[in-house]
Amino acid sequence: MKKPNLVFIQNDHQAFFNHRPGSGARPLRPNFDRLCAEGARFDNAYCVTPMCAPARRTMLTGQYTHEHKQYFNYCDSPFAQTYLEVLRQGGYENYYFGKWHAGKTDVLRRNAECFTCEGYGNPYTTPEYAAYCQRLGIEKAVHRVDWAFTMDQYEEANYWPKLKTGAAYSCEGTWCGEHAVGETITPKESHEAFFLADMACRKLEQIKQEDSGRPFALRVDFWGPHQPFFPSAEFLHLYDEVDISPFGSLHADLAGKPDLYKIEWTVPFGEDNRLCQPTRITEEQWAMILKHVYAHITMLDAAGGLIVDKLRQLGLDENTLIVWTTDHGDSIASNGGHFDKGSHMCEEVMRIPLAMRLDGTIPKGVVCEELVNTVDLPVTLLDAAGLRFAQRRFGRSLLDIFRPGAPAWRQELLCEHMGHGYGEEHLSKMLRWKNYKLIYHHEQGQINELYDLDRDSFEQRNLYDDPAYGGVKALMLDKLRARLLETDDELSHEAWIE
């Protein structure tokens, strides 16, 4: 039987966990939900680390951050073997379109036909995007800025001098991570998500037409729904601000939590890099912000849906593993009213959506409760192709979940964080076991954390020093030590865990 094709769609920085039914409006994702119905939805999926470049390096190499050492967005540690290299050597035609942000791109360019940018990048300034707009006969993207936020570091660097509230704005900078909400007033097709979807769909048509007989691996990495939140009117009109309830931890006082949660660089959510408590943003303003966030997610869902629909239309979906996920979450509106993620490891930044389809292997409509994380994804892609990394990886193929007789799945999950970087470096390790979550901080003075997620999904009652949970804490600390040893973490040899 021919090896399966591999299609990997990745969103960037997506608000997900706790943005769910039961508290008013939620992000609509009809195409993602359809893929879940055709395959599996993973309800306990985590990112290994909640920062772009470290997370993305993991999703290429299958390594934990402490292994690949791409600790921060601005690092450039040497690459270990990537799954793209293994696929190329195994006879796959590789295609990669979109955001890279995992180090230098030469590793990608050696192993795939690609469109990407160095660093974070800005697709709107590329010749490929200009040619796309010309072919469609549309104007390059213009956005009406409804609210532009500021950050001292960005102001000093003068990244986006034309970004002003009320302005008609086009991103002309070296990267496109503006802190703002607004509306794309040019056709939705001018947005980067539809540009990338078009590139992927045209490549699929070419693959079908040429029919080389070789399996292909297509990966599409959107720049969104990372801020700026600039959906078009079509998607904004799906939401009414009155239906968007205050987020569950919006007004949290953060008592009993480490100082990491009180750092916020974006003004007016923070001042002097400290979170404003209580939040200075009214509930009505928060509803407006979240309306743009949710509409942006729905717009990305529509773009990703074009790719999956094209697979169906061309009959390329029948022997294809389709994976759709995101690199990490977003803490927007959570834990007292943050705008962006930071050095903390709340569920909102750690939990990610994940759907997979592979006909004949993955049952339709199954909901998986197993603990999985992004270190598993490269191993899964190679396993589907009948391939493996040359050296050991600590991740496991998610396809084992559906194989009769496969060894029992893991009971604990290890994640880690080196901090946001840019002067904010805080080493933390996280362990999830059953309904409990432990976060242990290497930095002295930070309060360690223990939560019962079944009773406290917003993590507002820290049980770490509660005598009633002393046994749970001791057990989880033992499990954390074991996982650090198992994954060759050099910290396992330090006496820094109680």
pLDDT in tens, 117-167: 999 999 999 999 999 999 999 999 999 999 999 998 898 899 999 999 999
DSSP collapsed to 3 states, the chain:
CCCCEEEEEEECCCCCCCCCCCCECCCCCHHHHHHHHHCEEECCEECCCCCHHHHHHHHHHCCCHHHHCCCCCCCCCCCCCCHHHHHHHCCCEEEEEECCCCCCCHHHHHHCEEECCCCCCCHHHCHHHHHHHHHHCCCCCCEEEEEECECHHHHHHCCCCCCCCCCEECCCCCCCCCCEEEEECCCHHHCHHHHHHHHHHHHHHHHHHHCCCCCEEEEEECCCCCCCECCEHHHHCCCCHHHECCCCCCCCCCCCCCHHHHECCCECCEECCEECCCCCCCHHHHHHHHHHHHHHHHHHHHHHHHHHHHHHHHCCCCCEEEEEEECCCCCCCCCCCCCCCCCCCCHHHHECCEEEECCCCCCCCEEECCCEEHHHHHHHHHHHCCCCCCCCCCCCCHHHHHCCCCCCCCCEEEEEECCCECCECCCEEEEEECCEEEEEECCCCCCCEEEECCCCCCCCCCCCCCHHHHHHHHHHHHHHHHHHHHCCCHHHHCCCCC
Identify the pLDDT of residue 497: 72
Task: Quickly state the pLDDT bin for 21 (edges 50, 70, 90).
Answer: low
C-alpha distances (whole Å) from 220 to each of 100, 393, 424, 456 are 10, 24, 30, 35
Task: Quickly state the pLDDT bin for 481 (edges 50, 70, 90).
Answer: very high
Dump pLDDT digits (tens) for 331-357.
999 999 999 999 999 999 999 999 999
Dump pLDDT digits (tens) for 207-254.
999 999 999 999 999 999 999 999 999 999 999 999 999 999 999 999
Q: Is-cis flag, bond preceding 215, omega within 30?
A: no
pTM for the predicted model, two decimal places: 0.97
User: Is residue 38 over pLDDT 80?
Assistant: yes
Q: Which residue has the tokens 């799954």?
A: 83
Handedness of CA 33, 365, 325, 437 (dihedral sign): positive
Identify the pLDDT of residue 494: 78
Contact in structure between 378 and 419 (CB atoms under 8 Å): no
Mean pLDDT of 76-88: 96
Q: Could you give the CA distance from residue 437 to residue 158 in angstroms, rounded to a whole number?
A: 40
Identify the pLDDT of residue 35: 98
Identify the pLDDT of residue 25: 83
More confident residue, 184 or 21: 184
User: Is residue 286 over pLDDT 80?
Assistant: yes
What the block records as the tokens of 146 is: 């409804």
User: Is residue 385 over pLDDT 60?
Assistant: yes
Least confident of 20-34, 68-82, 252-266, 420-434: 20-34
When the pLDDT of each residue in the chain is averaged and rounded to a whole number, the result is 96
Task: Quickly state the pLDDT bin for 22 (edges 50, 70, 90).
Answer: low
Task: Quickly state the pLDDT bin for 423 (edges 50, 70, 90).
Answer: confident
User: Is residue 23 over pLDDT 60?
Assistant: no
What the block records as the tokens of 143 is: 């956005």
